Amino acid sequence: MVKFLVTQVSAGGVVFRREKDKILFFLLGFKEKKIWCLPKGIIEKGESEIEAAKREVMEETGIKNLRLINKIGSINYQFWFKKTRIDKTVHFYLFETNQVETKIGEEHDTYGWFTFNEALKALSYPSEKEILKKAYDLIPKKDLLEFMEDKLEGKSNEKK
């Protein structure tokens, strides 16, 4: 059995949007495997982490209207693929959108918008659950407080 070690560096995103009095997070899935995950993919030559994260999110989710909030952090994991051990690092960024319509890429066969607790429960990988927790903490508190106050007062969440 031949064994090789390959290092991969990827980037991805946690995408959220505000709907009524909720913050919703976008997850991708595989129905048959019952797996839910965050959008991510390999950084292409000459591409920055941020550029790759945005490109991968757009390709995998169909969401084009993305506002970068902040870098969330990185995860590292290993897996085997065709007798090759892959050592993978993924850098995650937090993006906000107001786009509801999506068109997922060919890699996944389902998607959903989840509340924080629903997303935390649905995500299949513990490291991605930790990224989601960090992402939630990075959502601008001022924006979140204004959003909640406007909802309590019955105001629209439209930005002027």
Range of weakest confidence among 57-66, 70-79, 95-104: 95-104
Give the model's confidence band at 81: pLDDT under 50 very low, under 70 low, under 90 confident, else very high: confident
Please state, rounded to an integer, the average pLDDT across all residues of the chain: 86
pLDDT at 80: 86
Interval 50-70: pLDDT, tens: 999 999 999 999 999 999 999
pLDDT at 160: 34
What CATH number does domain 4-153 carry, 1.10.3720.10, 3.10.20.740, 3.90.79.10, 3.30.1370.60?
3.90.79.10
- Sequence-ordered alpha helix ranges (H) in the chain: 49-61, 116-122, 126-138, 141-153
